[in-house]
Amino acid sequence: MMSSTPAQKREDCTLPNRHIAPISAASKKLTAATWAYQLQRADLRQLGKIPESLLVVDYSRDGSEAKAWRPDQIRSLRENNQKIVLAYLSIGEAEDYRYYFRREWKSPVKAPCWLGPENPQWPGNFKVRYWSEEWQQLILGYLDKIIDQGFDGIYLDIVDAYEYWASAEMSRQEVALSMVQFIQRLAAHARIARGRHEFFLVPQNGEGLLAFDFHITSIGTFDLLRVIDGMGIEDLYYYGKEKNMPESTSYRNKFLQQIRAAGKPVFLIDYVYPYDKLTQDFYKKAASDGYIGYAAHENRKLDRYYPRMTPATPHKEKN
């Protein structure tokens, strides 16, 4: 495990002074009535049969480049029930099972300056100084693979990493702007450089970035809402079987309603399965607030598909 702290190595990976040209959302509006989210043990043939209109999957069967989905497999999945298919992409942490990760980086002596400490909750995942040019080039190359596979867009994870790096040396505003600029850069690469004008970007969490949106400061312009096509949110109402404090949900809702007011969907995932009453309540709350909900297992592995639940159809665990 890396032993560095957020303040270390900054002299080698300082925050850049980037200027990103304004970029708009995809040329086609993202619309979906339902969604599903499975990252492990995915069977695309089976997922093609589910009724959900939007699906988030990994770019690979097992996360490795060797098992990356072929373009014809993604095309077949998209054509089933006219699904929108987004590829999962972590931009705030490096994953040691990905093709870009080098084994020697786990040595503090050989680790690049942008590689931070290991996430104790997810072994093998490492914090990254995401503003680093080297890291962003790695992710742009990853994005090219996803585009070449034929995905409709990307579902960006660990967008809230800016909260981790805020410190006395780097203000919350600085690291937040760097994340917004990174997202803008990914959008520009897909929609302009690669000509995929309808390519969707949906960040997961990080809704607090909207607190800075439309601010013009000495370090740049915040304009996240303009570039994204929706937002995914974890744990809005529940954390496992524990209900979140109303103040926390209300605070997050304030930002999520801004997204809805801009005509963009909010995709919720709470990990409330196998608790049927909580799952029913989750779907009820999500619909009431105007969000698109998906309930998954409390183990957070996202290794199977969970059909939508109604009061008349309780979940049944499959072996």
What is residue 217's predicted lDDT score, i.e. its pLDDT? 59
Cα 217 to the chain's mean position, in Å? 26
Determine phi and psi for 193, rounding to 5 degrees.
-60, -40
Domain boundaries, the chain: 35-229
| Alpha carbons 89 and 122: distance in angstroms, whole number | 16
Q: Residue 10 pLDDT > 60, yes or no?
A: no
64-117 pLDDT tens trace: 999 999 999 999 999 987 899 999 999 999 999 999 999 999 998 999 999 999
Please give the Cα distance from 217 to 85 (Å, whole number).
36
pLDDT grade for 253, boundaries at 50, 70 and 90? very high
pLDDT at residue 150, as a whole number: 98
Q: Judge whether 139 and 91 are in contact, CB under 8 Å.
A: yes
The CATH-assigned architecture of domain 35-229 is Alpha-Beta Barrel (3.20)
Q: What value does the mean pLDDT of the chain take?
A: 91
Q: Write down the pLDDT at residue 183.
A: 96
Res 17: pLDDT: 75
Residue 230 has pLDDT above 80, yes or no: yes
Alpha-carbon gap, residue 12 to 55, rounded angstroms = 39
pLDDT at 203 over 50: yes
220 torsion bin: left (phi>0), alpha (psi -120 to 50), beta (else)? left
Indicate if the pLDDT at residue 22 is higher than 90: no
Tokens for 183, please give them.
Answer: 């997202």
Cα 263 to its chain centre, rounded Å, is: 19
In the prediction, which pLDDT does 310 show? 59
Say yes or no to pLDDT of 170 above 90.
no
pLDDT in tens, 275-299: 999 999 999 999 999 999 999 999 9
